[in-house]
């Protein structure tokens, strides 16, 4: 015997359909929504009233219809709730506020040497969150939460670091890290959040692999717009894929030949005193030494992307620090990937430079709270 259909579930699903339609297509009229989501006029009318009364949507103007008639249009109220995301890296703390559309409204980045054992560092973390909260004029009632992205694997509940070798902070807890952040908060894996931000804000992508080219390399598998963490929250750790049997460069994991040792951002920045922006400036000026390094880097990157696409048959998003500079050089990358591919397809059709730049990882940590809130409307 089949389980009876729960009217409450259907009601919530209908409300979600309507809200998401307005969010993705607004401003739209009631008639637009009826046609767009395939629900009856009474159902749409009832849900519009609920959404407007709760300040989730608002009338935005008048739309001319055929026959000389006109109708009110609606848009979502994107600032009725906001979330804050934080990204902790080796030398910086980045903090972003994000509205319900996924847009970053305010962003601050402070150079600060990573040290979770230093109370001054933890206070700085808390002060930056308060500064962005104040700058964005977010009330306590509006703030959905504070997400903390860290370059490490974390437990499923976001409470503890389970693998933090890159910055040597294994077993640190959320409570320790967020000592001076007195709001609802949780920890997230940085690569997962950057990838999630890219896909959640792009309605055209459902499945993708996000390749994070930061000072260490990570990845994120997105399936049906959701993060796939694997059985042990380790899916996407592409940095430790063996890419060479001949390289003698030692990875921080203790092995040699890892992808991380060939394509992390420091491979490039080390040639310009740690300044990645300077590296790409010189590349733009056709500096011969920098071009040689870059060509070798692209060879390794192309091989890794080729292997990833064979494995997942997904779009590949090139992100992280290097990804934020790579757009002008995508043709060179495409040519290298295409030269190794044996399928009748072009890299141009599945390899994409990242949309979000330096704020991606912080924004993603905030968007997790945004998504949970929208799902509950």
Beta bridge partners of 70: 64
pLDDT value of position 241: 86
pLDDT band per the 50, 70, 90 thresholds, residue 86: very high
Sequence spans of domains, the chain:
7-76, 82-195+360-376, 204-353
Residue 52 near residue 44, CB atoms below 8 Å? no
Fold that domain 82-195+360-376 belongs to in CATH: Nucleotidyltransferase; domain 5 (3.30.420)
CA angle 158, 198, 124 (to 5 degrees): 50
- As a whole number of angstroms, the distance between CA 105 and CA 76 comes to 16
pLDDT value of position 343: 82
CA 255 to chain centroid, in Å, comes to 29
Q: Is the pLDDT of residue 64 over 70?
A: no
The CATH code of the domain at 7-76 is 1.10.10.10
Domains 82-195+360-376 and 204-353 share a fold: yes
Give every CB contact of residue 339 below 8 A, 6+ residues apart in sequence. 302
Give every CB contact of residue 205 below 8 A, 6+ residues apart in sequence. 198, 199, 222, 225, 315, 317
pLDDT band per the 50, 70, 90 thresholds, residue 298: very high
pLDDT value of position 195: 92
DSSP single-letter state for residue 2: P
Polymer length in residues for the chain: 377
Looking up tokens 């997105």, which residue turns up? 222
CATH superfamily entry for domain 204-353? ATPase, nucleotide binding domain (3.30.420.40)
Model confidence, pTM: 0.86
């Amino acid at each position: 015997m089949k389980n009876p259909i729960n009217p409450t579930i259907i009601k919530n699903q209908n409300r979600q359909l309507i809200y998401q339609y307005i969010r993705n297509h607004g401003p739209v009229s009631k008639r637009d929504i009826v046609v767009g989501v395939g629900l009856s006029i009474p159902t749409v009318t009832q849900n519009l009233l609920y959404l407007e009364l709760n300040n989730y949507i608002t009338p935005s103007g008048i739309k001319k219809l055929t026959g000389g008639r006109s109708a009110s249009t609606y848009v979502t109220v994107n600032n009725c709730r906001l979330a804050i995301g934080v990204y902790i890296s080796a030398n910086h703390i980045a903090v972003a506020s994000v509205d319900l559309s996924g847009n970053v409204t305010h962003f601050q980045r402070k150079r600060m040497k990573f040290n979770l054992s230093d109370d001054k560092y933890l206070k700085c973390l808390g002060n930056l969150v308060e500064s962005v909260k104040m700058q964005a004029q977010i009330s306590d009632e509006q703030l959905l939460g504070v997400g903390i992205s860290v370059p490490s694997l974390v437990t499923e509940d976001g409470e503890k670091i389970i693998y933090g070798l890159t910055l040597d902070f294994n077993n640190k807890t959320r409570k320790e890290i967020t000592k001076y952040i007195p709001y609802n908060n949780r920890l997230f894996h940085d690569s997962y959040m950057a990838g999630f931000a890219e896909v959640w804000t792009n309605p055209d992508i459902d499945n993708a692999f996000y390749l994070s080219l930061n000072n260490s390399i990570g990845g994120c598998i997105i399936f049906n717009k959701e993060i796939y963490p694997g059985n042990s929250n380790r899916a996407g750790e592409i940095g430790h894929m063996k890419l060479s049997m001949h390289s003698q460069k030692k990875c921080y994991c203790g092995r040699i030949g890892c992808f991380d040792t060939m394509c992390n951002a420091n491979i490039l920045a080390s040639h310009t005193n740690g300044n990645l922006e300077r590296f790409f400036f010189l590349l733009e000026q056709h500096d011969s030494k920098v071009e040689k390094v870059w060509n070798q880097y692209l060879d390794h990157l192309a091989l890794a992307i080729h292997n990833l696409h064979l494995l997942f048959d997904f779009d590949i998003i090139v992100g992280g620090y290097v990804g934020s500079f790579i757009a002008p050089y995508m043709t060179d990358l495409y040519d290298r990937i295409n030269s190794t591919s044996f399928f009748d397809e072009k890299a141009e059709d599945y390899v994409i430079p990242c949309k979000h730049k330096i704020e991606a990882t912080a924004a993603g940590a905030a968007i997790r709270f945004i998504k949970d809130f929208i799902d509950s409307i």
